[in-house]
């Protein structure tokens, strides 16, 4: 196995950080978010500016993504094409249970939310989630995906987490935690979390896998306040309907190869 290229990894981390911030960012902000020294961040930014993936403000203080970054995804062919019907089914789920729902798929080292009902749910506990990345080992969506993907894919993801700097990379090295989490998820039929993610410590969630033609695509979760109910209580109330909607949503998705 080839050794990971540190330069490529850092360059991608900086691009991801700018994207997550969602607005022009300073070197200091990017250094804080990535854990990369500010001088090193600046050096990589200069390269990304020369390659036209990043642009800088007139006063040279802020950096933001250029339209050219879209070229990085134009050739990607294992992607969901979700329709108005997909969102309709998500909205039906939220109307039925009242709490917001997210549809996510695996990207790089996390689950990326590609559709959500947070903007339409009266009980939404966060801002819009579309485009946000969910850690694999501390969120219901990540656990549901890991527990139901192939063993080969699971090992691949765990290796990525071990060698990266994601929020849950340290957990990937804890074999007992990983095995215990996967066993529990498989036994219950759903992934769950209740405050493990510090950024959203007041919320809990349960999630089930979403399949497209027998191939796992991602996860469907529902999110609720921890003080309202536990994940197991949510599963008692909503699991059957959540599972049914995940199957119907899978039928609306198309994978391009």
- Give residue-wise pLDDT tens across range 111-128: 988 888 877 666 666 656
Q: Which CATH number fits domain 80-255: 3.20.20.70, 3.30.450.40, 3.20.10.10, 3.60.15.10?
A: 3.30.450.40
6-73 has which fold? Arc Repressor Mutant, subunit A (1.10.10)
Residues whose CB is less than 8 angstroms from the CB of residue 240 and which lie 6 or more positions away in sequence, other chains included: none
Is residue 102 within 8 Å of residue 87, measured between CB atoms?
Answer: no
pLDDT score for 255 = 61
Q: Give the closest residue to 248 by CA, choosing from 98, 109, 101, 106.
A: 101
Model confidence at 171: pLDDT above 50: yes
The more confidently predicted of residues 6 and 99 is 99
Q: Looking at the chain, which residues constitute the CATH 3.30.450.40 domain(s)?
A: 80-255
Q: Looking at the chain, which residues constitute the CATH 1.10.10.10 domain(s)?
A: 6-73
* CA angle (110 as vertex; 108, 114 as ends), nearest 5: 95
Mean pLDDT of 98-105: 93
Confidence of residue 219 (pLDDT cuts 50, 70, 90): very high
Q: Tokens for 67, please give them.
A: 């339209």
pLDDT score for 79 = 47
pLDDT score for 210 = 97
């Amino acid at each position: 196995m080839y050794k990971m290229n540190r330069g490529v990894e850092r360059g991608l981390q900086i691009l991801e950080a700018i994207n997550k911030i969602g607005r022009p960012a300073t070197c200091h902000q990017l250094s804080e978010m990535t854990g990369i020294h500010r001088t090193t961040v600046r050096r990589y930014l200069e390269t990304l500016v020369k390659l036209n993936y990043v642009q800088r403000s007139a006063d040279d203080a802020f950096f933001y993504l250029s339209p050219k970054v879209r070229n990085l995804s134009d050739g990607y062919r294992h992607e969901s094409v979700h329709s108005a019907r997909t969102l309709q089914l998500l909205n039906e789920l939220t109307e039925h249970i009242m709490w917001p729902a997210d549809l996510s798929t695996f990207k790089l080292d996390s689950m990326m939310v590609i559709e959500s009902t947070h903007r339409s749910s009266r009980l939404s506990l966060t801002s819009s989630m579309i485009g946000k990345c969910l850690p694999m080992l501390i969120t219901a969506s990540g656990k549901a995906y890991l527990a139901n993907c192939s063993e080969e894919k699971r090992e691949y993801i765990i290796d990525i987490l071990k060698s990266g700097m994601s929020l849950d990379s340290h957990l990937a090295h804890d074999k007992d935690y990983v095995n215990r989490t996967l066993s529990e998820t498989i036994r219950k039929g759903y992934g769950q979390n209740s405050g493990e993610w510090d950024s959203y410590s007041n919320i809990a969630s349960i999630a089930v896998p979403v399949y497209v033609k027998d191939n796992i695509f991602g996860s469907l979760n529902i999110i609720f306040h921890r003080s309202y109910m536990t994940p197991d209580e949510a599963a008692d109330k909503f699991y059957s309907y959540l599972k049914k909607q995940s199957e119907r949503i899978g039928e609306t998705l198309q994978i391009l190869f």
